[in-house]
Structure 1
Amino acid sequence: MKEAGYGLLLAIQFLTRLPVPVECPWTPTTSRWALRCYPLVGLLLGAILAGAAALLREVFPVPLLALALLSLWVALSGGLHLDGLMDVADALGSNAPLERRWAIMKDPQVGSFGMLALIFLLAWKGALLWALLEADVDLMVVMVIPAMGRFGAVLLLCLAPCARREGLAWAWQRHLEHRDLLLSAVPLLLIAWWLTGWLVLMAALLIFLLGHGLAMTRAFRGINGDIVGAGIEGGEVWLLLIAWIWWSSAMG
């Protein structure tokens, strides 16, 4: 159980900017436990977002509340996955040969395609939060989407090949087994009892990940950490869109 605790703290340290003043050992066991805890950490982030929405709903008008939640969402993750999104967008937008795309992805400078991807993703995420709040959506939807996005990261790492045997994705993937994917899904399965439309969101996530994984494998011959981060961000926006469509049609 000590390794499980270290794994949870590693996942919090890596995926969030929440303070964890503990030095956690990186071993094959703690690494696997960290991956198993990805969706659990997503639930923690989602619970903070849902709690903030519940507290501020009667204070802020909906547009400002959506902007506040979006700002908190970015702050909690430290923009980690947004950085990956921008790197992938710059590489894809270059239309360069494969090795040049890899060089662009590793370049710390952000290009025009990366900035456009960032602007449009945040605009869509903010607008969809606004739409969901106006529709008086169950705040559990807001809570579960970050968890599903991080479950998607585990799924990508488990099923998609790493393009190169280096970097964060390879460091995570090398100790990963299929049973770790099943264990990571446990928190989401427990939520299924309370969240109407859970199956709709999960099906939508799987469709997105299939398309994202196939497209990235075709473009880069596999995945890396930036591609996984872009998958988290893209998956969250996709799930927000599906939640709004489903909530508007089925519940409205």
Structure 2
Amino acid sequence: MKDAGYGALLALQFLTRLPVPVVCPWTPATRRWAARSYPLVGLVIGVLLALLGMALRDAWPAPLVALALLSGWVALSGGLHLDGLMDLADALGCQSSGERRWAIMKDPHVGSFAVLALVLHLAWKGMLLWVLLDEGASLWALVAIPALARWGAVALLVGVPAARDEGLAHAWQRSLGHREAWLAALPAVAVLAWVPGGIWLALAMAVFIVIYGGAMRRSFGGINGDIVGAAIEGGELWLLLIAWSWWSYVMV
């Protein structure tokens, strides 16, 4: 059980900026438990966002609540996954392929495609939060979305090989198997039972990962840490769109 506790703290430390005042060992066992805990960390993020939205919803206008939720979302993760999204956008934006794309992805400088991707991504995310608030959607959907997106990251690590025998994704994959993907799904599935449209969110996430994973295989030959981080951001945006569609066209 000690490995499980360290693994959960590793996941919290890696995926958020929440303080973890414990030095956690980096071993195959703790890596496995950390991957299994990814959706649990998503649940923590989602609960904090839902509570923030509930505290502000009746006092602030919807646009400001949406902006506060978006700001909190970014702050909780420290922008870690946005960095991956920007690196991936720069790599895909170039007209080259192969090694040139990898060189661009590893370049610490920010290109124009990265800036465009960041601005458009945050704009879409903020607008979808706004319309969900306007539609009177349950803020508890925000609990499921970060959890499912982080389960998607585990599914990518398990199902798509690393493009290079180096880096963070390769380090994680050395300790992971299909069992991790199934165990990681349990907390997300438990939450979906009482989230409106939860089954559709789960199916939408599965479709996203299949399409995204295939696209990354074709474009890069596999995944790396930036690609996994971008999948979390892309998955959250996709699930917000599905949640809005469900609430607007099914619940109404």
Fold in common (TM above 0.5): yes
CA-to-partner distance for each residue in 1:140-172, whole Å, 9 max, x for gaps?
111110001100000000101110111111111
Per the alignment, in what secondary structure is the counterpart of residue 139 of structure 1?
coil
Equivalence for 2:92: 92
- Quote the sequence identity (%): 63
CA distance in 2, matches of 1:124, 1:193: 27
Looking at structure 1, the residues matched to 240 and 64 of structure 2 have their Cα atoms a distance apart, in angstroms, of: 18
Unaligned runs of 5+ residues in structure 1 are none
Aligned equivalent of 1:231 = 231
Alignment-mate amino acid for residue 66 of structure 1:
A
Shift of 1:129: 0.3
- Displacement of 1:199 in angstroms is 1.1
The CA distance in 1 between the partners of 2:62 and 2:198, in whole Å, is 25
Partner SS, residue 136 of structure 1? coil
- Contact 2:97-2:219 within 8 A present in 1 as well: no
Question: What is the match of residue 246 of structure 1?
Answer: 246
CA distance in 1 between counterparts of 2:125 and 2:113 reads 18
Does 1:28 find its partner at 2:66?
A: no
Residue 48 (structure 1) aligned with residue 45 (structure 2): no
Q: Which amino acid aligns with 2:147?
A: A
**Which letter maps to 1:211?**
I
2:65 corresponds in structure 1 to 65
Query: Matched residues in 2 for 1:180 and 1:173: separation?
Result: 11
Q: RMSD between aligned alpha carbons? A: 0.7
Q: TM-score, normalised by structure 1?
A: 0.99
CA contact (8 A) 2:53 2:65 kept: yes
C-alpha displacement of 1:177: 1.1
Following superposition, the deviation at residue 210 of structure 1 comes to 1.1
Deviation track 1:82-105 (CA, whole Å, cap 9, x = no partner) reads 000000000010111310100000
Q: 1:150: which partner in 2?
A: 150
Aligned to 2:202: 202
| 1:118-144 deviation digits (Å, cap 9, x = unpaired) | 000000000000011111111111111
In structure 1, give the amino acid aligned to 2:106: K
Aligned-partner Cα distance in 1 for 2:241–2:9: 31
Is this contact kept in 1: 2:144–2:192, CA < 8 A? no
1:233 CA drift (Å) = 0.4
Alignment length (residue pairs): 252
Hey, what's the Cα distance between the residues in 1 that align with 2:188 and 2:219? Answer: 31
TM-score normalised by the chain length of structure 2: 0.99
Note the C-alpha offset of 1:39: 0.2
Work out the CA distance in 2 between the residues paired with 1:197 and 1:97: 39
Is contact 2:40–2:147 with CA below 8 Å preserved after alignment? yes
Q: What is the 5 A alignment of 1:101-120?
A: 101-120=101-120
The amino acid of 1:124's aligned partner reads W
Residue equivalent to 1:166: 166
Do the aligned residues in 1 keep the contact of 2:151 with 2:185 (CA within 8 Å)?
yes
Residue deviations 1:15-60 (CA, integer Å, cap 9, x gap): 0000001100000000000000000000000000000001111111
Q: Which moved more, 1:188-197 or 1:235-244?
A: 188-197
> How far apart are residue 196 of structure 1 and its match?
2.5
Q: Which runs of 4+ in 1 moved over 6 A?
A: none
Corresponding position of 2:216? 216
State the alpha-carbon separation in 2 of the partners of residues 170 and 71 from structure 1. 31
